[in-house]
Structure 1
């Protein structure tokens, strides 16, 4: 074997090793580029999802605010309805006492102030409760009799402070 050929052979082996290492480095670089592209795509997808998540969070917060506002409004309306239901009210009725004597009774929890009758009076009335006030669980005595051929009315329509619409009260038949 000739010694002059050994450096050439050594150079050949070294260059072959270098070629193999270079091929591996190129393949590794290609893999690295592919991984970098995948990572960039994943980052883009992550940004897109983050935007969607942020938009969804904003929508959810807006819906939560609207729901809270609705709940507050409903609670206010419910409290107002409860206060109205528990408010002291007058509840009037007419009862026959004897002969032409009647009583206007307040069976409610509140007073009936400034009572007025909205009906025409084709009958005789004395001590009529026009403008009178009756406390809760109290009564007012008055007299009423038919006149000019008309009997006492069967219904009287009364109004009082806080009661804008007339309330029809049944006049019970005379007893004896």
Structure 2
């Protein structure tokens, strides 16, 4: 063996060792890159889940706000003063129309009872707890009506009241 071959063999051995180290480093680098890629994918999934959760939370909050607004509107509507009319028999053919509500009835009007009858003159105001006396006349042939319909300012849809039996 020639002493000149020893450095060549040493270089060959070192290059083989360097090749093994490089091969191992490549495998470690690939595993590290794969782990980084998996971590990035997990981060994207987590970010997407966070966005979905935030969107769901916003929708839930909006729904809760709508429900609270609807509840508040319903409470305000329930607390709003209202006219509540009642018919009470007094004696004979005399009846009392009473406002048992919590708001006055302005321009109270009795609608026609039949096609050939005309409505009565409007009652300007029937305050809370106030009553108006009126007479229901019956003809011999026609008989008495069983209901009366009223409207007033703010109440365009007729309110039908059953006429109570006398006596």
TM-score, normalised relative to structure 2 = 0.80
Larger-gyration structure (1/2): 1
User: Mapping of 1:16-165 within 5 angstroms?
Assistant: 22-120=15-113, 130-147=122-139, 149-165=141-157
Aligned residue pairs total 164
Which 5+ residue runs of structure 2 have no aligned equivalent? none
Q: Secondary structure at the match of 1:146?
A: coil
User: What is the deviation of 1:84?
Assistant: 0.9
> In 2, distance between residues paired with 1:78 and 1:51?
40
Deviations 1:1-44 (A, max 9, x none): xxxx9x95xx86x8877766554443222211111111111112
Which 5+ residue runs of structure 1 have no aligned equivalent? none
Contact 1:129–1:140 (8 Å) recurs in 2: no
> In 2, distance between residues paired with 1:132 and 1:142?
15
